[in-house]
Amino acid sequence: MKKIINKTEDIVPEMISGLVKTNPDLVKEIEGTTAVVRNDEKFAEQKQVGVVSGGGSGHEPLHAGYVGDGMLSAAVAGEVFTSPTPDQIYEAIKAVDQGQGVLLIVKNYSGDVMNFDMAKEMAEADDIEIKTIVVDDDISVENSEFTQGKRGVAGTVLVEKIVGAAARSGMNLTDLAKLGQNVIDQTKTIGIALHAATVPAVGHPGFELAKDEIEYGIGIHNERGYAVEKIKPSNQLANELIEKIMNEFTDKSGSFAVLVNGMGGTLLMEQYIFANDVLNELNDKKIDVKFSKVGNQVTSLDMQGVSLTIMKADDSWIKMLKEPVTTIGW
Amino acid sequence: MELNLADTKKWMNLFVEEVEKNKSNLNELDTAIGDGDHGTNMDRGMQAITAALEKKEPSDLAELYKTVAFAMIQKIGGASGPLYGTAFLDMSKKAKETADLTELIQVGTDGLKRRGQSDVGMKTMIDVWQPVATALKDNKFNQQAVDEALESTKDMVATKGRASYLEEKSRGHLDPGSQSSAYLFGALIKVIGV
């Protein structure tokens, strides 16, 4: 394993420190934590509901890259692939509460859910009004009582974009949580891996794939998916993933948004080829795509692969997706 | 069985040693059915426990358990932080009434069930904690009881936590949280000598 790091235990604090030093007009560190909060001039003036998200590190630029005017108010970075601790989330909540309450955007992983839950209890003891929405867009996992439920993956960034835009426009906490839940319900993602990621503390890839194999349905923490198959040309992959996702929507009319997300180790060149195939195929299917985005948004360290997110979005959501923001990563 | 402050502290120190010694084993177990960092995370918590206990000598059992709980909550992260943290925090509250180990472990186990919204048979650390609590009640607590509880997780299919996404594929692997819990109770056995 070759990595440009110092000590593995210093990876997250040093990353945050570098991020803050290179973007001082956008974010600042919350003292004593690995969380960042908005540092732009508008932040103090806008009395809006605070929007806090966070999770393990390694999904860059999620979440710190999406802190800024129009998206998140603060983001809490946990260790690599490990949810942040409740005390840190609690500090982030306090840093963004402007008396309008705080919305927590949590990805559906047991660690994230439990730590945010404990932080919520701590903040409520301070009389801060808190609501939580849990993103579970990954359709590769059965949502049954026999699993933790569907995971929160790349669709999270679209949820953060829409909720962030609505919060900026002055929406109250109750409506914001409702909107967020509606958005989550219409967001579906599935991912494939060509090569597993290497967690720095472990030093070798999380699982092995032969040179011509890909894994379907991977999560963003190196979890294996539901099937290993031979790799296919991009257009066939696009067809297969679209087929799976569109089956999840009963109503295929109206507007849709598309996110092609790189998992960290796949070139933009390949992502654009795949996006080209996705948009052609959706066009053939008469699916009206009004917003699309390509790039590394919710990576899984250096995993090679992509995920495809499709959202059935009403026109107000499309408008919110298109609104400009001031962040490092969007 | 009652465990006094000095022995409980010895127990915690031994637990720290065991986890630090077996950090890579926990990572390997977690690589099979999770994301490979259970050892790293637990180790971070163990260092925090040592630092906290060196900084301030706890005056009673409740304070000791609370110190351990806070160190784990603040440093472990993931699911293990709030789970272990909740167990020890609930034990700390109970320790204000009793030093009875059987009662304390059962309270800790109930805390795990509440925080994780889970129960026995889901391939989680509860599958070690509950059998240990039961063995204590039945006066059958020993290393064999711990080993058997840990081993039982091997053939389970996970229905909670990260490993649940693997469904059938989670079978055949020991649960990493159960393994770290087995270190905890193995350390206890060394202290009480059963």
Question: In chain A, what residues touch B117 (CB-CB under 8 Å)?
Answer: none
Together in a domain, A101 and A112: yes
Distance CA A91, CA B29 (A): 33
Determine the pLDDT at residue B132: 98
Question: In chain A, what residues touch B83 (CB-CB under 8 Å)?
Answer: 114
pLDDT at B94 over 70: yes
- Domain of A270: which CATH number? 3.30.1180.20
Determine the pLDDT at residue A52: 98
- Tens digit of pLDDT for each residue in A191-248? 999 999 998 888 889 889 999 999 999 989 888 888 999 999 999 999 999 999 999 9
Q: Out of A63, A195, A204, A221, pick the active-site residue.
A: A221
- Binned at pLDDT 50, 70 and 90, residue A327 comes out as very high
A245 occurs within a structural domain: yes
- Tens digit of pLDDT for each residue in A46-76? 899 999 999 999 999 999 999 999 999 999 9
pLDDT at A144 over 70: no
Question: In chain B, what residues touch A301 (CB-CB under 8 Å)?
Answer: none
Determine the pLDDT at residue B140: 96
Determine the pLDDT at residue A282: 98
- Binned at pLDDT 50, 70 and 90, residue A148 comes out as confident
- Mutant choice from A82, A88, A113 vs B, greatest count of B C-beta within 10 A: A82
Together in a domain, A195 and A303: yes
Together in a domain, A178 and A195: no
User: Can you tell me the ipTM of this complex?
Assistant: 0.77
SS3 (DSSP) at A74: strand
Distance CA B7, CA B14 (A): 10
Together in a domain, A124 and A210: no
The mean pLDDT value for B49-76 works out to 95
Contact by Cβ (8 Å): A139, A127? no
Together in a domain, A32 and A166: yes
Together in a domain, A144 and A260: no
- Tens digit of pLDDT for each residue in A155-172? 999 999 999 999 999 999
The mean pLDDT value for A279-283 works out to 98
Is A59 marked active-site? yes
- Mutant choice from A114, A143, A146 vs B, greatest count of B C-beta within 10 A: A114
A85 occurs within a structural domain: yes
Write the residue in B35, B41, B86 that is nearest to A221 by C-beta. B35
Q: What is the DSSP string of B67-109?
A: HHHHHHHHHT-TTHHHHHHHHHHHHHHHTTT--BHHHHHHHHH
Lookup: tokens for A292? 């699309």
Looking at A185, A207, A240, the residue that finishes a domain is A185
A5 occurs within a structural domain: no
**Domain definitions of chain B by residue range:** 5-192
Distance CA A240, CA A233 (A): 11
Write the residue in A110, A142, A199 that is nearest to B79 by C-beta. A110
Together in a domain, A110 and A222: no
pLDDT at A88 over 70: yes
Poorest-confidence range of A145-154, A290-299, B39-48? A145-154
Is B75 in Cβ contact with A83 (below 8 Å)? no
Together in a domain, A41 and A175: yes
pLDDT at B39 over 90: yes
- Binned at pLDDT 50, 70 and 90, residue A96 comes out as very high
At a CB cut-off of 8 Å and minimum separation 6, what does A229 contact? A213, A214, A216
Is B115 in Cβ contact with A201 (below 8 Å)? no
Please give the CATH architecture assigned to the domain spanning B5-192: Alpha Horseshoe (1.25)
Determine the pLDDT at residue B167: 78
Determine the pLDDT at residue B1: 87
A235 occurs within a structural domain: yes
- Tens digit of pLDDT for each residue in B138-193? 999 999 999 999 999 999 999 888 788 777 888 999 999 999 999 999 999 999 98
Is A204 marked active-site? no
Together in a domain, A154 and A243: no
Together in a domain, A225 and A293: yes
Write the residue in B40, B74, B160 that is nearest to A85 by C-beta. B74
Contact by Cβ (8 Å): B173, B151? no
- Nearest chain A residue to B115 by CA: give it: A114
- Binned at pLDDT 50, 70 and 90, residue A146 comes out as low
A3 occurs within a structural domain: no
Is A224 in Cβ contact with B162 (below 8 Å)? no
Is A147 in Cβ contact with B78 (below 8 Å)? no
Is B116 in Cβ contact with A110 (below 8 Å)? yes
Together in a domain, A220 and A232: yes
Q: Which domain holds residue A51?
A: 11-185
- Nearest chain B residue to A150 by CA: give it: B165
Please provide the average confidence, as pLDDT, over all residues in chain A.
95
Looking at A120, A155, A185, the residue that finishes a domain is A185
Quickly tell me which residue has 């002055």 as its tokens. Answer: A170
SS3 (DSSP) at A158: helix
- Domain of A46: which CATH number? 3.40.50.10440
The residue among B160, B69, B165 whose CA lies nearest residue B117 is: B160
Looking at A136, A166, A185, the residue that finishes a domain is A185
Distance CA B37, CA B27 (A): 5
Together in a domain, A253 and A279: yes
Determine the pLDDT at residue A145: 56
How far lies A60's CA from each of A22, A106, A311, B149, B177, in Å? 16, 16, 21, 39, 28
Question: In chain A, what residues touch B159 (CB-CB under 8 Å)?
Answer: 145-147
- Binned at pLDDT 50, 70 and 90, residue A147 comes out as low
Is B40 in Cβ contact with A114 (below 8 Å)? no
Determine the pLDDT at residue A143: 60
The domain total for chain A is 2
pTM assigned to the model: 0.88
pLDDT at B17 over 60: yes
- Tens digit of pLDDT for each residue in A103-113? 999 999 989 99
User: Per residue, what are the HEC states of B144-190?
Assistant: HHHHHHHHHCCCCCCCCCHHHHHHHHHCCCCCHHHHHHHHHHHHHHH
Poorest-confidence range of A3-12, A275-284, B127-136, B155-164? B155-164
- Check CB contact of B75 with chain A, cutoff 8 Å: yes
Write the residue in A110, A115, A199 that is nearest to B37 by C-beta. A199
- Check CB contact of B173 with chain A, cutoff 8 Å: no
- Check CB contact of B186 with chain A, cutoff 8 Å: no
The mean pLDDT value for A248-254 works out to 96
